[in-house]
Amino acid sequence: VIAAFSTVGNVLVCIAVGKNRRLRTVTNYFLVSLAFADICVGALAIPCAIMTDVGIPRHNLYLCLLMLSVLIMLTQSSIFSLLAVAIERYIAIFLPFQYHSIMTSRNAILIIIITWILAFLIGLVPLMGWYKTPPESGYCFFVFVVDMTYMVYFNFFGCVLTPLVIMFLIYAQIFTTVKRQIRRMAADRVTGGGSQDKRAASIRKEMKTATSLFLVLFLFTVCWIPLHIINCFILLCPHCSIPVPLLLAAIILSHANSAVNPILYAYKMKAFRRTFKAIFLC
């Protein structure tokens, strides 16, 4: 069910940006990259996860590693897309006059290509030798094949937690600075007339966009952090008993993140909502 919703919903996001000129912004290019990663999660990663959940393929280590690496690669691409969005919002608010020269469509596409190459390389690290030798039964189970030192120290601490902390710091600075500017403009308007109205409206619009995009980041964090915390327990406390239902719930929650973004766009962003409605009504 999650795979179907993720694939259909994110294909709808890509179609919406393609059909509506107003949605063809640099911010939305990064959101399309995120949507493409979520389409791949629905169409490729979740089917691979279902297969490895029953131990398929057996006695083929490299195919097993490739299937398990797909989800890591797509998750990393999502994180890099969210980081690109956060940096783009930072430039839009703190460097408004240089924004159009820095954040051109060409530069956005170049950044997207670089993020996918980096995500691809990070996801393929287990295939390069950082894996565990599976048991003689040959079953392709995640914890039997993927080395938890890679998942915790390299993937979580280095490639997931560090970008997330940077993004939360960026949004914290955006929100505190913009609120301070709006408060100052409100005071200026009271004392010196309404000459600041246009600038204040522009800042409020940027603030609203940043808030919606922060919610995307927040939901990503809520959906993925529980699984990474469980991985930390598996590595650092090998004798601790982790209930199987809890582990499965964390895995399902991480996959569910790929299906929620289109719902969030429709709920929080008016241009997306109108375009989705137009597509459904042909």
Q: Mean pLDDT score of the chain, rounded to an integer?
A: 87
**pLDDT given for residue 231 in this prediction:** 92
Are residues 221 and 166 in contact, defined by beta-carbon separation less than 8 angstroms? no
249: pLDDT strictly greater than 90: yes
d(CA 276, CA 263): 10
Grade residue 193 by pLDDT with cuts at 50, 70 and 90. Answer: low
Q: What DSSP assignment string belongs to 212-230?
A: HHHHHHHHHHHHHHHHHHH
* Total number of domains in the chain: 1
179: pLDDT strictly greater than 90: no
At a CB cut-off of 8 Å and minimum separation 6, what does 4 contact? 42
**pLDDT given for residue 192 in this prediction:** 54
Grade residue 84 by pLDDT with cuts at 50, 70 and 90. Answer: very high
Which range (110-124, 198-212, 223-237) has the least confidence? 198-212
122: pLDDT strictly greater than 80: yes
Task: Compare 34 and 136 and report the one with higher pLDDT.
Answer: 34
158: pLDDT strictly greater than 90: yes
Which range (11-25, 48-62, 204-218, 260-274) has the least confidence? 48-62
**pLDDT given for residue 197 in this prediction:** 64
Mean pLDDT over residues 124-129, rounded? 86
Which range (37-41, 43-47, 54-58, 122-126) has the least confidence? 54-58
**pLDDT given for residue 173 in this prediction:** 92
**pLDDT given for residue 141 in this prediction:** 79
Rg of the chain (C-alpha set): 21
Helices (runs of H) and strands (runs of E) counted in the chain: 12, 0
Which range (40-44, 159-163, 176-180) has the least confidence? 176-180
**pLDDT given for residue 196 in this prediction:** 58
CATH number at residue 161: 1.20.1070.10
At a CB cut-off of 8 Å and minimum separation 6, what does 84 contact? 30, 33, 108, 111, 112, 115
Grade residue 194 by pLDDT with cuts at 50, 70 and 90. Answer: low
**pLDDT given for residue 269 in this prediction:** 85
- Domain of 225 in residue numbering reads as 1-281
226: pLDDT strictly greater than 80: yes
Q: What percent of the chain has pLDDT over 70?
A: 94
189: pLDDT strictly greater than 70: no
